[in-house]
Amino acid sequence: MTSISPPAVESDLSERILESLSDCIARHGVTKTTLDDVAAEAGCSRATLYRYFPGKRTMVEALVQRRWARLNADLATACRHSESLDDALVAILVHASRTLRADGALVRVLELEPEMVLPYVAFDGADTTFAVVAESLVEPLERFTGAEGARRTGEWAARLVLSYTLSYTADSGGAEALADPAFARTLVRDFVVPGCPRAGGGSRE
């Protein structure tokens, strides 16, 4: 019988705790979610939670970082084999929008506690968020725009996703619209690609 190494067990439990936190937030929001709720959802003791996370704030931050890293990696994969800049940007917008709409915890926070998201989408926090996304998209986009152009293009893609996702909370259907490939392609064709630099210099005419 093959035994599971302790590091694998540790990683699995940490992941289960964070997914349990996400499920609790999707039901109750961040403020009303307690460590007892998370422990019960994860099937472990409150003391076990403290072995991995000093408190709820640290746990929430770890969840955000993990989801963010996963989304960045998925976006790069989604557009890696695109044959044109248009196709790559459509893949990015559609995948990001669908992923964020499907995140029950994020949707609940935007509905009940939008102030929780503000540090990531306003002022210096927004600049950091856009820079991280843009950097993650350099490798799959630079063949169309060059490295610096890829950063700028990636930043605009991030701004579009953020704008439409936040507008969705006001019942305008923003994120839902952006998840439609036909709508995303129209947006990319008419407003994004014309201003994007091309590899070798200049903007697309």
Q: State the SS3 of 1-44.
A: CCCCCHHHHHHHHHHHHHHHHHHHHHHHCCCCCCHHHHHHHHCC
Tell me the residue type at 23: D
What is the tens place of the pLDDT at every residue in 40-70?
999 999 999 999 999 999 999 999 989 988 9
Packing angle of the helix pair 35-42, 56-79 (nearest 10 deg): 60
* 31-45: average pLDDT: 97
Q: For 160-194, how does the pLDDT look when each residue is reduced to its tens digit (9 = 90+)?
A: 888 888 775 545 556 678 899 999 999 999 989 98
- Can you give the residue ranges of every domain in the chain? 63-195
Distance separating alpha carbons of residues 86 and 32, to the nearest angstrom: 43
Kindly report the pTM of this predicted structure. 0.84
